[in-house]
Structure 1
Amino acid sequence: MIEVSSARAGTLSPLSLTIHPGILAITGPNGAGKTTFLRLLSGILQPTCGSIKIDGKDPAECTIGWVGEYPDRNVLFTRVYDELASPLRFTRVSCTKTDQKVRRFAKDLGITCLLDRNMQGLSGGELILVAFAAACIAVPDILILDETDSHLDELFCDHIEDFIRRSGIRYVIFSTHRPERMAVADEMIRLEKGKITEQISLNDPSGPPQPDSLSAPGFWRKVMRELKAGGDG
């Protein structure tokens, strides 16, 4: 589990919570502290007080995958192949195994045709997929997506969510403003003015009822179940 104990940074009030393995959605208005909280979890930002432990370890001791809203700001290499290979090369994975994994990931995400492309020539969607693959390829302890879905359509988001479910990554934490995307999570946290105002399990049928509203992730969870049931029928 991820244990956050009275952790504080920036505009965040001291936060204490437990995050279970699975997918966690974080939502809230602009300026609520979502990105600050994600940076604390990733180890990019150190708490001014309190502590964060990921399965008993400090974030700095863990492997972190990060994809932001504008991944072009964090590009390391010119060629797509090298961008995907870099997390493996940094951990001294052999050239043969690196090549095999890069090509397998590219095939799974449908970006094999991009491997020899220049990173600067990619479209926004292509860039997101490449950044996402680079963040996942070393199977990090925790994958963090900071409003990565802001400019993506539903089909694109579904493609990424399906890949996440198959990835074996223990913790996936993403921030979003979109209730239909929150619905794919196992848990949800709402931040407002640096404080947690809501934390619910979206998998718990005995939890508080969710309103039938387009702004409620529980509503979208119900819609998704009905669509799946209709497709199975």
Structure 2
Amino acid sequence: MLRLRSVNQFYGNHHILWDVDLELSPGSCTGIIGQPGMGKTTLVNCIMGHLPVNSGSMIWQQAGSPPENLLMQPAATRARLGIGYVPQGRQIFSQLSVEENLQIALLAGQQGRHCAIPSLVYDLFPMLWQQRHQRSGMLSLEQQQHLALARALALQPQLLMLDEPTEGMSPWLEEETGNLLHRLNREFGLTILLLEQRVSVVRHVARNFLLLHRGRNVAQGHVAQLDENMVDKWLAVS
């Protein structure tokens, strides 16, 4: 589905990503884990086309279609290719209603002004249906996270990328969010790329992991290999 090889990215003279490799197969769930400032958000912004890639390759391939060079696709078209994104901090339009937030997502994906919101969205988040005319800034933290997820799912992506979706959440809400992502992956077959600081979330949701440290993928494999020695070496706060 998505294959990155030797991806390098710079901010000015600062080398941020160093020869990063990543491969996502259809239906997989991969957690990218690392402390703040280690390149997780930079990597996903490169995939979305919000930041330039200085060298390396990104290949996107949908089922039954030939591979495409993702680097040749402008950022505006990547959602239409089937890539969904829930940014850090949710970034909902707080002055607009729940329904207006979802309609804006459809417009951004060029689905059409009068395109219906997929029934799956409200099936997954029935509370959003009940509050569809409410200003989204009045929603609880959990409901705002659900809206951010719903907005990405409205475009019916094949790949969903989430940047720190449990940020600021209590342990209970963290578990609920993890359960929801687990369901989207296992029950609906949605490919997920999860960017997280919390090892507990990655262990709960993901099948595979990639560990970023100072922009390098220093470890990767099955999530069962993400043991305490690795956590202490790369993720412990010094």
Q: Verify same fold: TM over 0.5.
A: yes
Counterpart position of 1:68 = 87
The answer for unaligned runs of 5 or more in structure 1 is: 204-208, 217-233
The answer for unaligned runs of 5 or more in structure 2 is: 11-15, 62-66, 233-238
| Separation in structure 1 between the aligned mates of residue 4 and residue 120 of structure 2, nearest angstrom | 35
| Separation in structure 2 between the aligned mates of residue 155 and residue 164 of structure 1, nearest angstrom | 14
Which of structure 1's runs of 4+ aligned residues deviate more than 4 A?
Answer: 209-213
Identity score, percent: 20
| Separation in structure 1 between the aligned mates of residue 188 and residue 103 of structure 2, nearest angstrom | 17
Shift in CA distance, 190/139, structure 1 to aligned 2, threshold 3 Å: same
Shift in CA distance, 92/210, structure 1 to aligned 2, threshold 3 Å: closer
Counterpart position of 1:24 = 30
Match of residue 214, structure 2, among 193, 206, 227: 193
Match of residue 139, structure 1, among 156, 164, 188: 156
Deviation at 1:109, TM superposition (A): 1.7
* Partner SS for 1:85: helix
* Partner SS for 2:122: helix
| Root mean square deviation, CA, Å | 2.7
| Separation in structure 2 between the aligned mates of residue 142 and residue 148 of structure 1, nearest angstrom | 15
Shift in CA distance, 37/132, structure 1 to aligned 2, threshold 3 Å: same
Match of residue 159, structure 1, among 167, 180, 196: 180
1:2-52 alpha-carbon deviations (Å, 9 max, x no partner):
221221113111223433231110001121111111111222222011221
* Partner SS for 2:18: coil
| Separation in structure 1 between the aligned mates of residue 135 and residue 161 of structure 2, nearest angstrom | 25
TM-score scaled by length of structure 2: 0.75
| Separation in structure 2 between the aligned mates of residue 123 and residue 2 of structure 1, nearest angstrom | 34
Shift in CA distance, 168/94, structure 1 to aligned 2, threshold 3 Å: farther
Tell which deviates more after alignment, 106-115 or 133-142.
106-115
Deviation at 1:138, TM superposition (A): 1.5
| Separation in structure 2 between the aligned mates of residue 30 and residue 78 of structure 1, nearest angstrom | 31
Deviation at 1:198, TM superposition (A): 0.5
Q: Where does 1:103-114 land on structure 2 (aligned, <5 Å)? A: 103-111=119-127, 112-114=129-131
Q: Where does 1:1-233 land on structure 2 (aligned, <5 Å)? A: 1-10=1-10, 11-21=16-26, 22-55=28-61, 56-57=67-68, 58=70, 60=73, 61-63=77-79, 64-72=83-91, 74-75=92-93, 78-89=96-107, 90-92=109-111, 95=114, 98-99=116-117, 101=118, 103-111=119-127, 112-152=129-169, 153=173, 154-169=175-190, 171-183=191-203, 184-202=205-223, 211=227
Alpha-carbon contact 2:94-2:135 (below 8 Å) kept? no
| Separation in structure 2 between the aligned mates of residue 104 and residue 172 of structure 1, nearest angstrom | 17
Letter in 1 for 2:93: V
Counterpart position of 1:222 = none
Alpha-carbon contact 1:147-1:175 (below 8 Å) kept? yes
TM-score scaled by length of structure 1: 0.76
* Partner SS for 2:3: strand
Alpha-carbon contact 2:93-2:137 (below 8 Å) kept? no
Alpha-carbon contact 1:87-1:137 (below 8 Å) kept? yes
* Partner SS for 2:157: coil
Structure that is richer in strand per residue? 2
| Separation in structure 2 between the aligned mates of residue 54 and residue 75 of structure 1, nearest angstrom | 30
Alpha-carbon contact 2:21-2:217 (below 8 Å) kept? no
